[in-house]
Amino acid sequence: MSKEYSAFKQAQQEFDKVADMMQLDKSYRSVLREPSRSLLVNVPVRMDDGSIKTFAGYRCQHNTACGPAKGGIRYSEDVSLDEVKALAMWMTWKCSLAGIPFGGGKGGVYVDVKKLSEGELERLSRRYFAEIQVIVGPDKDIPAPDMNTDSRIMAWFMDTYSMNIGKTALGVVTGKPISLGGSLGRDSATGRGVEISTINLLGKQGIDPKNADVVIQGFGNVGAWAAKLLYDDGCKIIGLSDVYGAVYNPDGLNPYDAIERAMKPEDSVSNLLPGKKITNNELLALECDVLAPCALQNQLTAKNAKSVKAKIIVEGANGPTTPEADKHFVEKGILVAPDFLANAGGVIVSYFEWIQGLAFLFWTEREVNNKLSALMNQNIDKVYVLAEERNISMRDAAYIFAIQRVADATRLRGIYP
């Protein structure tokens, strides 16, 4: 990707397109297309050899008109202010569309975690969270895991915040270990959301799940859960891939026979599952009822969009489809469930975790899954109906719902002072 590329400019362009379509008041456009707050912090860490090394940290809050900011924290050498601003903006629309009382936030540290020891990672995490504590809190901004962060790091975040305020605050982060106030069902939530979206849209297209051929790109947490749950629903999984390769079998694949997040080539789905080894491009071009890209961003592009033969695309990853490819799919009549609708299961169950943590009252996994299913199906239904009524894509319809809710909240709250 070119150095001139700006994720935030892309996010603004997507917003501007739909704002024009909605004829949104220009006064509110100027408020909604910029983040409300961006914090840059210097994170000094004592390394194992006794030296002190500093890292750049960020936390951005795009909009809090609907409630506290919500969004992950990532550790990566790709982290930048531009990136977190874009991701925070997209989180605003995701939370708004989901109908949960959050705005969008995002944060990260510019670091290569592979070069850190366990102790250095903990000291980095605690110091970073202490630095951003001035703007986070259970009723201000609730971080969560993202790239290269996990439940262990969320436990360090929660403990750091709790020690600083003198009491346990379960609601300050989500994605925590179950024993520290995490929610049952959180690990499978994003993949389950993809499964719920797939079953819902198959029904709307008059396709019986038991007669549906499904291709899933990516076998990490999201792709693996989506594959297993759709397999349980009776769908035929004819194509799967991971970072090491892809496999195709027209007779169907059993995802339970593969290893989630294979750490070495011999554990790849292409080696563990029976079928023909194929390339990633061949996988995306397979004829199928549903294609679920659940790996990385920018996988469906102008270069390969014309070869896609799926009837439905359900975006499990963030940003797997470029605007050029999306335009082609609309023209071709391929139904696309956009990422901030289809992969919202994670943030919805994070919301459930936040509620449980504030109340110190926890739900069963069945309760969590049932609540997730009800909310996901409600959101998919309303987006699909609007798309049909206006003869627009589901992505545009989803943006209209998301932006309108935040614009209404901003208007009703007014500008202070």
Q: Which residues are catalytic?
A: 106
* CA distance linking residue 57 with residue 73, whole number of Å: 10
The dihedral formed by the CA atoms of 296, 86, 129 and 115, expressed in degrees to the nearest 10: 40
DSSP letter string, 357-380: HHHT----HHHHHHHHHHHHHHHH
Q: Taking the CA of residue 284 as centre, how many other CA atoms within 13 Å lie in the half-sphere pointing to its CB?
A: 22
Could you give phi then psi for residue 227, rounded to 5 degrees? -65, -45
Element (H, E) at 314: strand 312-314
Looking at the DSSP bridge assignments, the partners of residue 145 are: 73
Report the chain's C-alpha Rg in angstroms.
Answer: 21
If one counts every other C-beta atom within 10 angstroms of the C-beta of residue 119, the result is 12
How far apart are alpha carbons 77 and 82 in whole angstroms? 13
d(Cα 137, Cα 169) in Å, to the nearest integer?
A: 9
Work out the burial of residue 211: count CB atoms within 10 Å of its CB; fewer than 13 is exposed, 13-18 middle, 19 or more buried. Answer: exposed
- Determine which helix (DSSP H) or strand (DSSP E) holds 95, and give its type and residue range: helix 81-98
Dump the DSSP string for 25-89: -HHHHHHHTS-SEEEEEEEEEE-TTS-EEEEEEEEEEEE-SSSSEEEEEEEETT--HHHHHHHHH
For β-strands 245-248 and 276-278, DSSP reports them as: antiparallel
Structure tokens given for 371: 């609540």
